[in-house]
């Protein structure tokens, strides 16, 4: 078997309010599984199995990505091949889609996710977006404005807490939440979110949100760390950034490695998608070298622009009338 590199872990506070505070951890580097357009199941399954072979132990999926079943199949095969000894060696995240973001639909949704994955528990379950949509029979990654509804944070989060209490997930968290929306959630939460998964890369560094989450003990997971080039939610700007190109050249690293190393040095966990074995390995090779202070300074000076604006969330009758409201001014 190939060399398995050791990916460092970040402490994840699972039940911070309990007396016997249960500590868990999240591997800092995970494999994203959102591919657009969707890829054939066999291709995705083989890619995930390859990722396990080369050493990935943290996997990010979501009900809406349609990769839960293939991730489950890859995990089952990895177990039967002895690539991992037990399911506990893996860290699996999935997410509640907006159509299920209603108090009474959260438990059925996590049960469906677990059934898709063939697992008894998740490591982390996230609210995918801070918005609900009218319940639907099937998942569609395209947002339909006429179905938008404001989310009742209190009751949806109570159901998320129930998922954790029942042992269906070890930790719960949110995704695409601004500081203001986290404050609202925290005002009634009994279990604070362990993680906020958001876009983060050298072109959208999330300094304000990171400082806020650090104060609240919430781990940031960076998605689209390479800018998701070619995806409808992505930008070519990261992979084409001249500053990053120059740093990569000088260090004899790739631009992707510079992005991932930078994110790692910021103390966040990162999920990066690649279904290509060589790029998977390249993306893991970020732990035995570091950026120089002057390189970090240059990255700090890159003009900031959100790649995933999510302007499709703006609608006349939905919860967000403007981009200002989606991101609470952080645009
Ligand atoms: N919570 C949310 O709302 C949300 C939103 C977006 C994403 N996510 C999660 O975050 C994960 C990662 O983000 P992402 O998929 O949006 O974008 P990303 O990881 O920044 O970029 C993925 C793209 O970069 C390519 N790539 C990967 N490694 C590379 C390398 N070393 N050199 C050059 N190209 C490389 C991939 O192609 P190949 O596969 O061909 O290598 C793919 O086209 C997703 O898969 C998903 O799990 C969450």
What digits encode the pLDDT tens for the residues 75-98?
999 999 999 999 999 999 999 999
What does the longest C-alpha to C-alpha distance in the chain come to?
56
What digits encode the pLDDT tens for the residues 238-260?
999 999 999 999 999 999 999 99
Among protein residues, the one whose CA lies closest to atom 31 of ligand 1:
279
Of 23 and 92, the structure prediction assigns the larger pLDDT to 92
Domains of the chain: 21-320 (3.20.20.100)
Please state the rounded mean pLDDT for residues 21-30: 81
Among protein residues, the one whose CA lies closest to atom 23 of ligand 1:
228
Radius of gyration of the chain (CA): 19
pLDDT in the model for residue 1: 45
How many Å apart are CA 159 and CA 106, to the nearest integer?
Answer: 6
Closest ligand 1 atom to Cα of 274? 39
Q: Tell which one of 224, 276, 282 to mutate to probe ligand 1, the residue whose CB is within 8 A of the most ligand atoms.
A: 224
* 17 pLDDT more than 50: no
Q: How many angstroms does the Cα of residue 19 sit away from the middle of ligand 1?
A: 38
pLDDT in the model for residue 12: 76
* 308 pLDDT more than 90: yes
Please state the rounded mean pLDDT for residues 143-156: 92
Q: What does the block give as tokens for 189?
A: 């939460």
Terminal C-alpha separation, the chain: 46
Please state the rounded mean pLDDT for residues 259-271: 97
Cβ count near 206 (within 10 Å) = 21
Active site residues: 65
Please state the rounded mean pLDDT for residues 270-296: 97
The whole-angstrom distance between residue 229's C-alpha and the CA centroid of its chain comes to 17
Mean pLDDT across the chain: 93
What digits encode the pLDDT tens for the residues 191-211?
999 999 999 999 999 999 999
Angle at 193 between CA 188 and CA 197, to 5 degrees: 135
Residues with CB under 6 A from ligand 1: 32-34, 60, 128, 175-176, 197, 223-231, 233-234, 254, 256, 271-276, 279, 282-283
- What is the residue whose two structure tokens read 């509640």? 96
pLDDT above 70: percentage of residues in the chain: 95
Q: How many angstroms does the Cα of residue 276 sit away from the middle of ligand 1?
A: 11
How many Å apart are CA 302 and CA 281, to the nearest integer?
Answer: 27
Among 4-13, 115-124, 141-150, 204-213, the minimum mean pLDDT is found in: 4-13
Closest ligand 1 atom to Cα of 283? 31
Q: Tell which one of 91, 204, 236, 273 to mutate to probe ligand 1, the residue whose CB is within 8 A of the most ligand atoms.
A: 273
Q: How many angstroms does the Cα of residue 228 sit away from the middle of ligand 1?
A: 5
Among protein residues, the one whose CA lies closest to atom 37 of ligand 1:
274
Q: Tell which one of 95, 195, 226 to mutate to probe ligand 1, the residue whose CB is within 8 A of the most ligand atoms.
A: 226
What digits encode the pLDDT tens for the residues 44-86?
999 999 999 999 999 999 999 999 999 999 999 999 999 999 9
């Amino acid at each position: 078997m190939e060399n398995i590199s050791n990916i460092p872990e970040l402490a994840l506070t699972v039940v911070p309010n309990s007396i016997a505070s249960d500590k868990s951890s999240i591997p800092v580097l995970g494999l994203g599984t959102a591919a657009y357009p969707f890829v054939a199941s066999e291709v995705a399954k083989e890619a995930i199995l390859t990722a396990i072979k080369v050493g990935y132990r943290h996997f990010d999926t979501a009900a809406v990505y349609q990769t839960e079943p293939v991730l489950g199949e890859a995990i089952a095969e990895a177990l039967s091949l002895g690539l991992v000894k037990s399911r506990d060696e893996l860290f699996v995240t999935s997410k509640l889609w907006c159509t299920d973001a209603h108090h009474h639909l959260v438990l059925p949704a996590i049960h469906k996710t677990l059934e898709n994955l063939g697992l008894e528990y998740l490591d982390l379950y996230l609210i995918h977006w801070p918005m609900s949509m009218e319940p639907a029979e099937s998942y569609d990654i395209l947002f339909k404005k006429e179905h938008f509804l404001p989310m009742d944070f209190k009751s949806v989060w109570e159901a998320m807490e129930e998922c954790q209490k029942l042992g269906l997930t070890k930790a719960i968290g949110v995704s695409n939440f601004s500081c203001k929306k986290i404050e609202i959630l925290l005002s009634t939460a009994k279990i604070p979110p362990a993680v906020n998964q958001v876009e983060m890369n050298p072109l959208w560094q999330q300094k304000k949100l990171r400082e806020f989450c650090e104060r609240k003990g919430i781990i940031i997971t960076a998605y689209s760390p390479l800018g998701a080039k070619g995806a409808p939610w992505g930008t070519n700007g990261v992979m084409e950034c001249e500053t990053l190109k120059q740093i990569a050249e000088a260090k004899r690293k790739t631009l992707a490695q510079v992005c991932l190393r930078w994110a790692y040095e910021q103390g966040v966990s990162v999920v990066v998608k690649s279904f290509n074995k060589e790029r998977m390995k390249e993306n893991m090779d970020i732990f035995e070298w570091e950026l120089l202070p002057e390189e970090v300074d240059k990255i700090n000076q890159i003009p900031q622009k959100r790649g995933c604006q999510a302007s499709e969330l703006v609608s006349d009758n939905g919860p967000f009338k403007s981009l200002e409201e989606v991101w609470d001014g952080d645009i």
